[in-house]
Amino acid sequence: MGTSEPGTERLQRWIAGHRRVFALTGAGCSTASGIPDYRDDQGEWKRRPPVMIQAFRAEDAVYRRYWARACAGWRRFSTAAPGAAHRAFAAWETAGTLWRLVTQNVDGLHQRAGSRAVIDLHGRLDVVICLGCGARTPRADLQTVMSEANPGWQSVAEPAPDGDADIDAAAVDAFVAPHCERCGGLLKPDVVFFGENVPGERYEAARAALAEADALLVAGSSLMVYSGFRFVRQAHEAGLPIAIVNRGRTRGDDLADLKVEGDVGSLLTDAIAARVPAGDAAR
């Protein structure tokens, strides 16, 4: 920091200087796709904090509210398209120097843009698991079940992070929440809720990938969630170069060798395009 060199050029040089980059991405990569971020530029909650796993399991009202909001927000979430940041990462992977992509997002948009070497750190919203019997079912199927169980139910919904929506209390009260068709158990999207840990095997896979990387790039995350921040600490302790691209401050700024502020999609698109000249992507 502190030089007058434009961010894109510094980022381009940083990317060109490494052969096995471990990238960690967050909500800032998906905001352009219409999926809002939880936090503002200062890393503070923009709105009511998300549901905690303990309350989700223990309180009927919390469970019902979660699924009412999820039902209302699904169409918007499921029709979101990959944006510039997702496409830039896919192009970078094709170019061969993006080693592994670990995302805190649960929207699957990196994969839909063409990325392959992805670890979904916090899971995926398009799969539902039963907390009783462990059955896994497509989230899209559950949408049909919820619609049939709530004929005529609708609400004016504002989209919110993680595929849910802000809806009014009366609509929540009227909503019939879904349960497992096999065992009657509670259903939960296959994502890591606040208050839950990342599954150990998944975390170890990401940790091992970082151990084999030669640099860490963070894109579109404030790093306020420890499950993401700990990779920055691991990289720092291993002496790896760290670059952060984000709009606003992050918890990792003091550990970064390069911090570029601005729109993640356009910054990465420009930097990767410079790194990967047209027609050179298959090299």
Binding site for Zn ion (CB under 5 A): 130, 132-133, 135, 180, 182-183, 185
Question: Catalytic pick from 18, 110, 122, 179?
Answer: 122
Task: Give the C-alpha separation, 250 to 42, whole Å.
Answer: 8
Q: Which is nearer to Zn ion, 149 or 224 (CB)?
A: 149
Task: Give the C-alpha separation, 117 to 111, whole Å.
Answer: 9
- Which of helix, strand or coil describes residue 35? coil
Q: Which is nearer to Zn ion, 131 or 224 (CB)?
A: 131
Structure tokens at 113: 């843009």
In the residue annotation, 122 being an active-site residue is answered as: yes
CB of 176 to Zn ion, least distance (A): 17
Task: Give the C-alpha separation, 106 to 127, whole Å.
Answer: 10
CB of 145 to Zn ion, least distance (A): 13
Structure tokens at 247: 């709009």
Structure tokens at 233: 């600490």
Structure tokens at 253: 């700024």
Q: Which is nearer to Zn ion, 177 or 180 (CB)?
A: 180
CB of 156 to Zn ion, least distance (A): 32
CB of 137 to Zn ion, least distance (A): 9
Q: Which is nearer to Zn ion, 58 or 174 (CB)?
A: 58
In the numeric block, the tokens 């223990």 are attached to 58
Whether the Cβ atoms of residue 254 and residue 264 lie closer than 8 Å to each other: no
| Residues that are catalytic | 122
